[in-house]
Amino acid sequence: MQSRAVLLILLLLIFVAVSGLWLWDRLIEGSAPAPVATATMPPARTATLAPGGTPTPVQAPPGYRLAGVALGEPESFAVIEAPNGLTSLYRLHDDVPRLGELVRIDAERVVIRGTAGQFDLWLAPAATATPVPVRTSKPHSPTRMLPLRPQSGGTTPAPRS
């Protein structure tokens, strides 16, 4: 009789656990936004239409790079590095000095509309610094070791030269 009660409680616990997992999955599935398909192949440049109707390619100015992106809701941010190495944080529709207005922030690129047209800045790693040997002003002199104090019944070790 006691083993039947234990078996019944065990089956009830399994049923509650499975039902809870199913309900949790349904709640999470209903609150998550639908995935958005995006193209991951970066174009080499963005074309803009010239007054005559012919596309004119616009390239990003040299020396600028997209150092980082933080996508969020309701705001996203982009970190852009200037040729002098200084980085700044920008929001959508901010004016990026000497580049133009930040009109779009994606996971791996930003789109900037400048006076010459619209162009993309793609996420790029920082240039690695070339290691330079460190020089010291004076040669290092070795320190002299002092003798240890003798413990009870012990002898003093001889100092090193």
**CATH, residue 79:** 2.30.30.830
Type of residue at 132: V
Q: Is residue 51 part of a domain?
A: yes
Q: Is residue 54 in some structural domain?
A: yes
5 assigned to some structural domain: no
Number of domains observed in the structure of the chain: 1
Query: Helices marked H in the chain — which ranges?
Result: 2-31
DSSP 48: E
- What percentage of the chain has pLDDT greater than the value 90? 28
Residue 149 lies in a domain: no
Across-strand partners of 107?
none
58 found inside a domain: yes
Name the burial class of residue 134, with classes exposed (0-12), middle (13-18) and buried (19+) by CB atoms within 10 angstroms of its CB. Answer: exposed
Report the C-alpha gap between 101 and 93 in whole angstroms: 6
3-state secondary structure of 12: helix
Rounded Cα–Cα distance for residues 27 and 21 (Å): 10
Domain encompassing residue 108: 46-122
Q: For the whole model, what pTM was predicted?
A: 0.47
Residue 89 lies in a domain: yes
Is 135 within a domain? no
Segment 76-97, tens digit of pLDDT:
999 999 988 889 999 999 999 9
Q: Are 80 and 96 within 8 A, CB to CB?
A: yes
The amino acid at 70: A
For residue range 99-154, what is the model confidence (pLDDT) as tens digits?
Answer: 999 999 999 999 999 888 899 999 988 877 666 666 666 655 666 666 667 666 55
Could you tell me if 123 and 69 are in contact, meaning their C-beta atoms sit under 8 angstroms apart?
yes
